[in-house]
A and B are shown apart, each in its own frame.
Chain A
Amino acid sequence: MSSISENSPNQNDRFNEFLLKALFSHITAITLLVVVETLWGLNLLNDKEPPKKVEVIQSAVRVDVVALPKMTLQELKKIDMVPPVVKEEPPAPETKANETSDIEFKKAQPKVNLSNLLKDISQKKVKTRKAKAKKEPNIDRKALRKLILDGNKISKGSSATGERIDASQKEFARYIQSVADSIRPSWKLPSYLKEKDLQCRLRVYIAGNGKVLKIEVYESSGDNEYDAKAISAVKKSGLLPKPGQDILARTTSGDILLGFPL
């Protein structure tokens, strides 16, 4: 007992000494990193740009070419890719029932219970089906041949990522695709900018009514005019599609990056 009591102050001192040394070495290491970061412009501590998980969404369209195209490029360009805005009809006004004249007579509903159900089942007549003669499948051979010969049937592709996507993520992905579809018709460049093969990304904050609250240049193309054209495309689009309640928090907090072009 006495040996333990004699040793514990020593052990405490050693522990404290160890802790001090560990803390000192940590502080020294971090100070060194900060100095190196400042002098050489590195981002070793990840404190300047917090890493963000960025997910790219791009809809995929699979085109099966089995014959020469039927429509020309000019005809395809004229097809309106943006879905028409469906005006919500105002709800029909509720009509108040006239209490004095309209008297509703409700049919007496029989009570449903198990014994009644079983009674109904036992009383049912079993219908025997007559064996039907096998008919040849009713195939319109002309239509089938036309279908086979018609090429260029566009089938909706899938943006498969190999991960399970929950319902809200799906809704968010669908929503941001509709935002891109709304902006695309306004996205135009003069030839001298188009040839430069530039890319920029804008971070947009969208309110519940579809209004664009804020636009930030998240990744500049390096050309001010290019970035300005991208911002102008977003502004010219006016009101964007309204986000649902489930994803409103994400749209207002700027989780959407618009890639021009990717």
Chain B
Amino acid sequence: MKFLVALTFIFVSLNSFSQDSLTVVAVGEAELEKEKMSFMAPQFGAIKQSEKNKINSIIKTLKDDFDFYRHLFEVNKETLTQDPGKASRYVMYSIFSVVGKEIFGEFKLKDNQKNLYVYTDKKKVWMNNIRTFSHDLADDMYRSITGNQSIFKSKILFLSDRTSPRNKANKEIYLMDFDGKRKQRITYDNGMIISPSLSPNNDKVLYTVVETEKKIRKSDQKIRKVKNLNLYLFDLKRRTKQKVSAVKGINSGAVFNKTGDSIYLTLSNLKNADIYKMNLKTKKKRRVTKHFSDDVDPHINADESLMTFLSGRPGKAMIYTMDPNKPEKGNVKRISFVGRFNAAPRFNPAGTEIVFSSWVDNRFDIFRIGSDGTNLVRLTKDFGSNEEPWFSPDGQFIVFTSQRVISRKKAVQDVYIMNRDGEIIKRITSNYGKIYTPRWSN
């Protein structure tokens, strides 16, 4: 019996294990690792020298394009004749040959770490539109590596006063490639254009023109000139424009909704400025903000669940967000609490961040904040006066204008691109007049 009792106690005690104590320490988020990318010199079949020069420009464009993503890739600036092998993560090979009267290119992108070709294609080279062909090819290669669309096929809309007479402040709308090439004029209004905006499928442009109208004053029947800010819609394919809104006062700061059938704009016909939503077909309006202070400059996130705007309700221009589909009461959230004057709040494509400019140290600088008001960071400093930021369609870059004072009478204002962490990539306009309000395509 004693033996049985002892056996029982031993059996029970086997199940009690000593517990170890481990301590977890967070190493934190990883830094982004750059991958080396190299381009081999193209191989040619029986191709004329003039055409070889054009083809070589494809390789140059590919390098320049990938160089924008310098936070992801370390692009070898030299075109290589010897295969770098594993010294470069990605290597691009190309062979060009003549088939009939056309030139065909065979392209391969090898991942040396996985030892496989991530991209292969054989296609006709658009010799008459080699830049578009190059950007398309770069986008295909980028997608094969990351699975995401790049900025290589995107455009930037902007305003310039290059054709304005000296005594006036006229501005026209222009469109250019994301890298500043192939600028083309869109409008010939000969007026003061402000706040342009592209539609979701990039085929229409909203913009406001400061127009002077002659009106007869009722009291003395005299003709007086009255300025009004009228909203227009320009069709980029048909090259036609139509007046969308011309109520008394401001019809400005208009942006499209996610489907492009409605717009959000600022109207001031009811004493102070407020934000409205308007159906483009029916012209029916719905008031979104209702406050005695001015509410201006709306921007909508991708799924139209959140709107950011500027409001003077706390006494100075601060950034707010709200759901534009719900009544204002209890729905408005203040995002910015610092800065003397904040302007131009813009969502990133995911709607998780807002980039804006703020007046600090006698100039404007660009800041980024979470849509919930957290993680305020400064992106520019000691770089002129920086305004009008706008995210790229992939959310990795910000286009903005930067003004540098040359003399008492002269200041230069150009378009720059930086990545979302504030690393300046390059200036993309030069000697093209004073540039305003750059808008990245969708």
With a CB–CB cut-off of 8 A, which chain B residues contact A229?
30
Which of A55-63, A105-113, A116-124 is near enough to bind chain B?
A: A55-63
In the complex, the answer to whether B30 meets A180 with C-beta atoms within 8 Å is no
Q: Which residue from chain A places its CB closest to the CB of B423 in the assembled complex?
A: A74
- A26–B72 Cα distance when bound, in Å, is 62
In the complex, the answer to whether A180 meets B28 with C-beta atoms within 8 Å is yes
Given A68-B338, A74-B422, decide whether A188 and B31 contact each other with a Cβ distance below 8 A.
Answer: yes
Does B23 interact with chain A (Cβ within 8 Å)? Answer: yes
- Across the interface, A57 reaches (CB within 8 A) one of B5, B23, B29, B147, namely B23
Which of A13-21, A85-93, A95-103, A129-137 is near enough to bind chain B?
A: A13-21
In the complex, the answer to whether A56 meets B24 with C-beta atoms within 8 Å is yes
In the complex, the answer to whether B72 meets A191 with C-beta atoms within 8 Å is yes
Contacting residues of chain B (2-50) with chain A, CB-CB under 8 angstroms? 4-5, 7-8, 11, 15, 17-33, 35
- A242–B360 Cα distance when bound, in Å, is 46
> B74: shortest Cβ distance to chain A, in Å?
12
- A74–B382 Cα distance when bound, in Å, is 13
- Across the interface, B25 reaches (CB within 8 A) one of A57, A73, A189, namely A57
Number of residues on chain A facing chain B (CB within 8 A): 64
> A24: shortest Cβ distance to chain B, in Å?
11
Does A72 interact with chain B (Cβ within 8 Å)? Answer: yes
Q: Which residue from chain B places its CB closest to the CB of A46 in the assembled complex?
A: B17
In the complex, the answer to whether B381 meets A72 with C-beta atoms within 8 Å is yes
Does A192 interact with chain B (Cβ within 8 Å)? Answer: yes
- Across the interface, B22 reaches (CB within 8 A) one of A16, A194, A255, namely A255
Does B287 interact with chain A (Cβ within 8 Å)? Answer: no
Q: Which residue from chain B places its CB closest to the CB of A187 in the assembled complex?
A: B30
- A179–B27 Cα distance when bound, in Å, is 9
Given A50-B19, A68-B338, A69-B377, decide whether A261 and B26 contact each other with a Cβ distance below 8 A.
Answer: yes
Contacting residues of chain B (56-80) with chain A, CB-CB under 8 angstroms? 72
Contact with A along B244-259 (1 / 0, CB 8 A): 0000000000000000
Does B339 interact with chain A (Cβ within 8 Å)? Answer: yes
Which of A140-148, A170-178, A207-215 is near enough to bind chain B?
A: A170-178
- A71–B379 Cα distance when bound, in Å, is 9
With a CB–CB cut-off of 8 A, which chain A residues contact B53?
none
- Across the interface, A16 reaches (CB within 8 A) one of B1, B337, B365, B367, namely B1
In the complex, the answer to whether A52 meets B21 with C-beta atoms within 8 Å is yes
Does B140 interact with chain A (Cβ within 8 Å)? Answer: no
Contact with B along A44-87 (1 / 0, CB 8 A): 01110011111111100000011111111111110000000000
In the complex, the answer to whether A259 meets B423 with C-beta atoms within 8 Å is no
In the complex, the answer to whether B358 meets A52 with C-beta atoms within 8 Å is no
- A47–B376 Cα distance when bound, in Å, is 49
With a CB–CB cut-off of 8 A, which chain A residues contact B377?
69, 72-73, 76
List 8 additional A-B contacts (Cβ < 8 Å) besides A15-B1, A68-B338, A71-B381. Answer: A50-B19, A53-B19, A53-B20, A56-B25, A56-B26, A72-B378, A183-B27, A261-B26
4 nearest A-B pairs in the assembled complex, by CB-CB distance: A188-B33, A189-B30, A69-B378, A257-B24
Q: Provide a sorted-by-A list of 17 A–B residue pairs whose CB atoms are within 8 angstroms.
A: A47-B17, A50-B20, A52-B21, A52-B22, A56-B24, A67-B338, A68-B365, A68-B376, A69-B367, A73-B377, A74-B423, A180-B27, A187-B31, A189-B30, A190-B72, A194-B32, A255-B22
